[in-house]
A and B are shown apart, each in its own frame.
Chain A
């Protein structure tokens, strides 16, 4: 089994869909979540608050901690939420992502986790 990050990408500033569409989307995502919990693919998932609620923390060259308001990436494309799933191979992960993208009505990026080094 390999773990994959399925991240949901949105473009900030795009028209917000009407309430019924959003409601349907939540229902579809919940249904998808139950299905993958049942099938054993679920590891973790969640929706994120918008990028303007984010804070970036970094250490500068002196070791001082700098705290900045806003997301790291200064772009319109931001992550809206994600799933961590486990799947036997990319084909299985892509099949799950296909269902995920329909449920959340946004593009989903599938990225493999590095294998943990053996102890």
Chain B
């Protein structure tokens, strides 16, 4: 019985309700951690409770009350009494229905917190991951991650970041960091291939779970649907993305029979639902691009004109150099590598390894092999992940060879 997995699946709801009940993230987090310790002790022998979520909430709440009683001093007895009084109230919110997890997500992803703190809090409180797991996933020391989480909780308490779902007027702006955090978590799982492989796959699964939760909690937010679609369609290609020895396989070279048809079907259905709503946004468009890729059983059959049109739309919405770079890749397929190279050379992305890698690929296609080799080497020094480095080194060597021929 994987108790940690059960807690990952169930404890976010408990943490969210207890934060509302006790008015303190610290109290809620500690309480659920106490419940985890009890579960580790008792479940192996007694078996998994029939309703683990309810068990966790009840156990955590009781532990919190015990702890508050033990720790109250004369100074804060008044405050403790108030807390305990609230703790006797029913756990279900009375009044307009609003899932506490929604409050928790918006609090964890509050713009007053740094993005790395937003990610850490979301994974810890909503995702139910243990601090050492989060530390390993982001390649920092456990003490560093623990301090990051502690500082963030202190800021929430000291600055009085409120435990609420933002009002309608603020919601679009407040939604952006929430979606960005989930996307960053997925990205960390998908592109990082150093460290513990299992942690990486778990991060992608965690991000997808959070994206599903966002859709469940905000079914009318098309960007939430777009994000889930994007993650599902990207994840559908995971098996084809690496060889058995860990070598990276680019999209045009992937064995498409290894793509997950179930995830593709689900992702494409979401993209169609988004199109019907006609409230386009960046995640929806990126999902649509991936849906076009997933539509074709072969790389050669890809509808690049459709992809280029989508990138035109995305660029209008989000005129960033990275979007322009990705658009140029599509442009190369539609208008040829020379046209794309002109556009790419106008971009300012000197530190981005993919900028150099894409330039290198275009130069290769234009038979400018010496320049291609230089560009691959520039990409290599900027790449941070072992599989990507190996891939770029190989390409650089081939380009050098061709330049000498």
Contact = CB atoms under 8 A, between A and B. Distances in A.
Contacts of B158: 112, 114
A90 B75 contact: no
Interface residues of B, number: 12
A90 B156 CA distance: 9
B158 to A, nearest CB: 5
A2 B75 contact: no
Interface string B156-170: 001111101010001
Contacts of A111: 159
A40 B112 CA distance: 24
B160 to A, nearest CB: 5
A91 interface: yes
Interface in B198-251: none
B75 A89 contact: no
B162 A89 contact: yes
B75 A91 contact: no
A110 B159 CA distance: 9
Nearest to A92: B162
B112 A112 contact: no
B75 A118 contact: yes
Contacts of B162: 88-91
B175 to A, nearest CB: 15
A29 interface: no
A112 B75 contact: no
A61 to B, nearest CB: 32
Interface in B257-287: none
A89 B160 contact: yes
Interface in A1-49: 2
A22 B39 CA distance: 64
A3 to B, nearest CB: 10
Interface string A106-119: 00001110100010
A36 B152 CA distance: 29
Contact of A90 (B78, B112, B166, B170): B112
A114 to B, nearest CB: 8
B120 to A, nearest CB: 19
A112 B158 CA distance: 7
Interface in B139-196: 158-162, 164, 166, 170
Nearest to B170: A91
A5 B112 CA distance: 15
A74 B162 CA distance: 36
Interface string B114-139: 00000000000000000000000000
Nearest to A95: B170
Contacts of A96: none
11 contacts: A2-B160, A89-B161, A90-B110, A90-B160, A90-B162, A91-B162, A93-B159, A110-B159, A112-B158, A112-B159, A114-B158
The 5 closest A-B pairs by CB, nearest first: A89-B162, A90-B159, A89-B160, A112-B159, A90-B161
Interface of A: 2, 88-91, 93-94, 110-112, 114, 118
